[in-house]
Amino acid sequence: MAKAPKNAISPTRAEDFPEWYQQVVRAADLAENSEVRGCMVIKPWGYGLWEKMQQQLDRMFKDTGHKNAYFPLLIPVSYLEKEATHVEGFATECAVVTHHRLELDSDGKMVPKGELTEPYVIRPTSETIIGAAFARWTQSYRDLPLLINQWANVMRWEMRTRMFLRTAEFLWQEGHTAHETKEEALEETHKMHEVYETFLRDHLAVPVIAGEKTEAERFPGALNTYTVEAMVQDRKAIQAGTSHFLGQNFSKAAGIEYESREGKRELAWTTSWGVSTRMIGTLLMAHSDDDGLVLPPRVAPTQVVIIPVMPKDEHREIVMPVVEDLATRLKAQTFHQAPVEVEVDARDIGGGTKTWEWIKKGAPIRIEVGPRDVEKGSVALARRDKGPKEKAFIPVDEAVGGIVDTLQEIQDNLLARAKGFLDENLVEFDDIEKFRAFFTPENADKPEIHGGFALVHWAGSTEDEEALQAELKITVRCIPKDADLRGGKGTCIYTGKEAEGRVIFAKSY
Amino acid sequence: MAKAPKNAISPTRAEDFPEWYQQVVRAADLAENSEVRGCMVIKPWGYGLWEKMQQQLDRMFKDTGHKNAYFPLLIPVSYLEKEATHVEGFATECAVVTHHRLELDSDGKMVPKGELTEPYVIRPTSETIIGAAFARWTQSYRDLPLLINQWANVMRWEMRTRMFLRTAEFLWQEGHTAHETKEEALEETHKMHEVYETFLRDHLAVPVIAGEKTEAERFPGALNTYTVEAMVQDRKAIQAGTSHFLGQNFSKAAGIEYESREGKRELAWTTSWGVSTRMIGTLLMAHSDDDGLVLPPRVAPTQVVIIPVMPKDEHREIVMPVVEDLATRLKAQTFHQAPVEVEVDARDIGGGTKTWEWIKKGAPIRIEVGPRDVEKGSVALARRDKGPKEKAFIPVDEAVGGIVDTLQEIQDNLLARAKGFLDENLVEFDDIEKFRAFFTPENADKPEIHGGFALVHWAGSTEDEEALQAELKITVRCIPKDADLRGGKGTCIYTGKEAEGRVIFAKSY
């Protein structure tokens, strides 16, 4: 019997998906837990990935007319209170600042002093504080639309945390806009919903189901919440980004009024939309394998790593000049409007260790150059989306000339793979018992990997959703935007009432 | 008698410098005060400026081998306490988080609940929390150096705040590094000190005096603090960036130990260095005039604004195609490795209002194109570093072909002007009475504009510095690095003792 291949990550996805996730975060050196409850340290490789995402999203925001600005970290409690649903949604999980200095007490311990007249919360989101600014900025219809984005840290005191997926502090962007009319605000909400869908597909190689949330999963204070839902490899859903139509709720709360074209005082219509470092968790679970992280080239901090192979000291002067020249030639290539990101790893550690480090970190392409390759004028090129042993031995010129195509092939391959997986695990049901079975562990390969996205007719209430959540741990992920998925009228799988169309049910993160 | 020219900013610099500062911040739409004590809202133009600074600094940090990462916002009080001088330095001005939720009390008010076992402070700086991570990351000398930078918000509960110069919350970058040897850590401290000097000179067009702080102005917990001191137009000093050699103080506090090449447990040597949004205030006070902000082209969010002049509706179809074509041609030019940043301002408001808006915002170049210009194939080009009425009427092709040179000329001109001003107001003194007179308002042009940088021999103690601060409101800004400024031995102007060389005294922000 052949020996089972040993993987870099233990346990494997099939053995224990949640633990596999934690191990990949660690093996890829993305982040680690800190001593601050629920807060992580994002390490250079993880932060490099976030920077890449930021750059590309930021360009998309600017191309759609938005400008960045920065608003205070602290929010007076009275601000939160102005929008009733909003404060309810966030009151149970916010960090509260009550004092403004520390003093030594009689035991020699530093204790909080200088109590504030009004406590502040660290922003869990910024609708209220940005609304107050918008109220100052908006006198006339000529001041509209306001199209603002903020890159910031936010804090939600979650009780159970998991790196990138749910942390007390996280990094995100929050777009906030104000408009003259309901139609314009809705158009903005949909436009940014689409930007997220495009970003996930074209940059992260993650196909999503775009759609609207039901009332139960709506943002506190929003009239409509639109979401992009990704399917990760345990077939659960993860909400990767949301765009909210806030109607006039926050305008009313903050007093965002303007003089209309007809000379009347009107309330503006607002939207907000955001994605966060949670996308790193999404990306990880969508593409990675039992050898570690797999990164789509468009967001990889290093797209090509060159590993000089120099078993003997005297190899250095043969190999390094070729490696440096190769690096220069690769960096001169352009992949999606930016120079190819190349790193030469000439650290003095074992070649095997080094190679496995880069496999675990998910670098899309590894190129090894040893003394014999130099002689032959060739290199060994390995793609992260293929097996760790699979290498192409090709002439240097071919490696250089083909690098951009190879990066694009990897990008396309990851998307196709994820799309295939989503299609395979997106199942229509009209029979409630089959639907139940789909989400019941006994019918799954493994305790943690089961189900998928179920597409069913639905006309249930929030209470019906809660009942299904209690029974099967599933929620309505969204009412799909895609007319083919939504389908026509039919009978609600749960209530038997007439339903307008199908929705997606799934377990989720 | 000729009528005095009317300026866009009132009061002027000569009339009331501090108030002029506030008015420029407002007129240029950089920022505004928020309802959160001491916190400002950074508006799109101000944030755009910060983004430009970030991009260019970030490149310089990466080129010197640093990587970005992100650490928790909250710091356990016990961490701060580990380094005695450090906690003393920050305890009196920190925001303290004591609770983790809000609940309605019997009066219907939201009040803090869920008291934390240990309170947290919002980071005033991150030496302690990053030190804890470094302690985990450092096992052997092979793990060193650690070269990390963080872009983040920090909070210091200052009692008197002024936008950009001193705010409770501010944005900054903090570099943190750990090294095997004292020499390497010192080398790093000096290298980053130089990076700041270069950045201010080449990007912000602000010449600085680089040097070391005396003990009185050292960072809490540092062995040496190196500073770059800029002179602004009221002849006061502003500390624009600092680089600290921390010795082994924070390593000891956090336990940053490693196994040395000789197999012994050793403490690492650490550094930290930072610049903040305060640089925006520095830039403003260094270059702006009585018409508003003046931006060096290298950090201007918009380098060239094109203003179509269309007094009649039918002019639009004549002017706009030419404007769009001009914008495209200008954007195709490269200024310091990036496309020229061009904005077409076709808003339907009066041309005069529009022009003054861009003057106040400090856009380096304004180009006006009206129907007659179109006829003649020319444009009107105005430079922000010249008077508001001064315009060059030049052929379109000349405007396009010369744009990069003109931007560079403006950049150079601003630097030369600021350098001239610094040189003129940097004065050597050997006579204590003349030194006193230099800093005494009666001898100055205006109550708020007086003195400058005084270069004097100094061998005084911290107490002597305090006495001079009480008497003349001046401090030692730095012991200059430049040997010509430092000079040779001499007699201390205050104590009469022998001094190693000269130091810079000045009033400061």
CB contact, 8 Å: B55 with chain A?
no
Q: Are A214 and A465 within 8 A, CB to CB?
A: yes
The residue behind tokens 């050699």 is B245
CA B162 – CA B478 distance, rounded (Å): 24
Q: Find the distance separating the first CA and the last CA of chain A, reported in whole Å.
A: 39
Strands A304-308 and A342-344: parallel
The answer, yes or no, to whether ipTM is higher than 0.85 is yes
* Nearest chain A CA: its distance from B277 CA (Å): 11
The pLDDT-based confidence of A1 (bands split at 50, 70, 90) is: very low
Q: Please name each of the domains of chain B with its CATH number.
A: 29-287 (3.30.930.10), 298-407 (3.40.50.800), 426-506 (3.30.110.30)
CA distances from B245 to B176, B250, B313, B453 (A): 10, 10, 64, 25
pLDDT average per 10 residues of sequence, chain B (509 residues):
67 94 98 94 98 98 97 94 82 95 90 96 95 97 97 94 96 98 98 98 98 93 96 96 97 96 97 98 98 98 97 93 98 96 92 93 98 96 94 97 98 98 97 94 61 96 96 97 97 98 97
Cross-sheet strand order for the sheet of A502-506: A67-68, A146-155, A169-179, A269-276, A237-247, A224-231, A208-212, A475-480, A502-506, A453-457, A426-428
Helix (H) or strand (E) holding B212: strand B208-212
Residues 138-177 on A with a CB inside 8 Å of B are 142, 148, 152-153, 155, 157, 169, 171
CA A251 – CA A134 distance, rounded (Å): 9
- On chain A, the residues whose CB falls within 8 A of the CB of B96 are 97-102, 112
CB contact, 8 Å: B68 with chain A?
yes
* pLDDT value of position B445: 58
pTM of the model: 0.96
CA B259 – CA A387 distance, rounded (Å): 36
pLDDT in tens, A163-215: 999 999 999 999 999 999 999 999 999 999 999 999 999 999 999 999 999 99
- On chain A, the residues whose CB falls within 8 A of the CB of B111 are 119
Angle between helix B278-287 and B17-27 (nearest 10): 110
The residue behind tokens 């020996």 is A3
CA B364 – CA B303 distance, rounded (Å): 6
Contact A101 B122 (CB under 8 A): no
Q: Which amino acid is at A193?
A: H
- On chain A, the residues whose CB falls within 8 A of the CB of B157 are 100-101, 114
Q: How many CB pairs under 8 A join A and B?
A: 186
* pLDDT value of position B82: 84
Q: Which residue of A has its CA nearest to B347?
A: A142
Closest residue to A100, CB basis, from B81, B95, B102: B95
SS3 category, A311:
coil
CA B302 – CA B327 distance, rounded (Å): 12
Residue B490 pairs in a beta bridge with B499
Q: Are A478 and A462 within 8 A, CB to CB?
A: no
pLDDT in tens, A314-357: 999 999 999 999 999 999 999 999 999 999 999 888 888 999 99
- Lookup: tokens for B149: 């930078």
Q: Are B390 and B39 within 8 A, CB to CB?
A: no
Long-range contacts of A443-447 (CB under 8 A, 24+ apart): A445/A14, A446/A14, A446/A15, A446/A17
SS3 category, B360:
helix
CA distances from B63 to A380, A503, B56, B179 (A): 28, 50, 11, 18
Residue B319: CB partners within 8 Å, gap ≥ 6? Answer: B308, B309, B310, B369, B370, B371, B374
CA A44 – CA B68 distance, rounded (Å): 6
Residues 74-93 on A with a CB inside 8 Å of B are 74-77, 80-81, 87, 91-93
Torsion of CA A289, A291, A296, A302, to 10 degrees: 170
State phi, psi for B100 to the nearest 5 degrees: -125, 15
Q: Which residue of A has its CA nearest to B84?
A: A110
pLDDT in tens, A416-466: 999 999 999 999 999 999 999 999 876 555 555 678 999 999 999 999 999
CA A381 – CA A209 distance, rounded (Å): 35
Residue A67: CB partners within 8 Å, gap ≥ 6? Answer: A147, A148, A149, B44, B47, B48
Residues 32-51 on B with a CB inside 8 Å of A are 32, 34-36, 39-44, 46-48, 50-51
Strands A67-68 and A146-155: parallel
CA A225 – CA A236 distance, rounded (Å): 20
CA B297 – CA B67 distance, rounded (Å): 27
